[in-house]
Amino acid sequence: MWCAEVPQNVPPDSDGHGDTLFCDVVGAWATVDAATRDALTRATAHHARPLRPDDAGTTHPALRPHPVTGEARLYVNPGYTRSVCGLPDDASAALLAAVFEHCLAPRFQLRYRWRPGDLVIWDNASVWHRATTRDMPRGARRVMFRASVVGGLAF
């Protein structure tokens, strides 16, 4: 992703810069507790796009191998994963909450503060990413250009 513009006149200690948060889901999975590991190793999860009531979603494994390294990595995330298939709603919600809390621990996160002209490349098969644009001041602009590799291994 290439950064063309970031919000101007935002205090340095503010969260309103339009940063991007990255979370290492390979590292998080490697350190998850045994009970969570057992629960997710062969589980499937239901995923649907947020704010799209017409989206029935899809299911896929909660854990998948990295397409190049073969390392196990979580294939669930707080933005799209709705439930763990086959579990009662309360057990599914509790399991996902625990997994997401573990993954979002500071030791698995990197917060990148953009500057115009920055170029950042990441492995989408190994990290979650999320912009902090909700924290930007009203009317602030963050202009980014994203490119994706086409034709690579599916993940």
Model pLDDT for residues 50-93, shown as the tens digit of each residue: 777 787 888 999 999 888 888 888 999 998 899 999 999 999 99
CA 46, CA 96: separation in Å to the nearest integer? 11
For every residue of 14-58, DSSP letters joined together read: SSTT--EEEEEHHHHHHT--HHHHHHHTT-EEEE--TT-TT---E
Q: What is the pLDDT of residue 33?
A: 93
In single-letter form, the type of residue at position 130 comes to: R
Q: What is the pLDDT of residue 153?
A: 57
- Mean model confidence pLDDT for the chain: 89
Mean pLDDT score, 100-117: 94
Q: Please check the confidence at residue 155 and state whether its pLDDT lies above 80.
A: no
User: For the whole model, what pTM was predicted?
Assistant: 0.83
Q: What is the pLDDT of residue 118?
A: 97
Assigned CATH topology for domain 2-145 = Double-stranded beta-helix (3.60.130)
Q: What is the pLDDT of residue 154?
A: 56
What are the boundaries of each domain within the chain? 2-145
Can you point out the beta strands (E) in the chain? Answer: 2-5, 20-24, 44-47, 58-61, 63-65, 72-74, 81-84, 109-112, 127-131, 143-145
